[in-house]
Amino acid sequence: MTPFFRAACLVLVMLAVLPAEAQLPRPPMGGPGDVPVNPPTSRGMNDFIGAWRLTWQDPTNPDCPCRGSLFIDIDANADGTSLAGRWKMKDGDAVLAGTMSYQAKVWYGRFSQPDDGLGFPAKGSFHLESRDPDTLTGSYQRDGTAIGFSRNATRE
């Protein structure tokens, strides 16, 4: 048997084995340490639910009060892992809607604010993280911008 013939046989055997290996089942999905990924628990979501004193940065608006009351509750239109929030503004309520993270420590999603009277309603994304049952920290970023601004809240 020539070395070329041996190499050709080896290649054919490898090609016959590879498709069978590609059909092996993948390992089960899970979080770190193969912890099953379950929806957030209501215990973690309770760190967010309620009334908050919200403050935020807004260097683009020098007249911004940059503070207000944020009210967070379970989103009745979702699957049980989402929250809905609102805060009163002079031109109507701003709304936040989003999903809880795996460990129920971060709430992230989208926000929208009504027109400020100048023709500029604001929309964008946000995230808020529970530091303890009475403190939230995070940021928001308006659509079309590259810079995010900080946002903090304490329980009312």
Q: Which two tokens stand for residue 92?
A: 């109507």
Residue 49 banded pLDDT, cuts 50, 70, 90: very high
- Which tens digit of pLDDT belongs to each residue from 123-155? 999 999 999 889 999 999 989 888 889 999 999
CA-CA-CA-CA torsion for 22, 25, 31, 33, nearest 10 degrees? -100
For the chain, percent of residues with pLDDT exceeding 90: 32
Q: Residue type for 100, please?
A: M
Burial of residue 105, with CB atoms counted within 10 A of its CB: 0-12 exposed, 13-18 middle, 19 or more buried: middle
Residue 84 CA to residue 149 CA, distance in Å, equals 20
Residue 58 CA to residue 55 CA, distance in Å, equals 10
Residue 89 banded pLDDT, cuts 50, 70, 90: confident
6 HSE (CA, 13 A, CB side):
3
- Which tens digit of pLDDT belongs to each residue from 5-46? 776 666 665 555 555 445 555 544 444 544 445 555 556 788
Average pLDDT value for the chain: 78
Residue 81 CA to residue 79 CA, distance in Å, equals 6
Residue 90 banded pLDDT, cuts 50, 70, 90: confident
Residue 73: predicted pLDDT: 93
What CA–CA distances, in Å, run from 9 to 2, 13, 30, 155? 11, 6, 40, 72
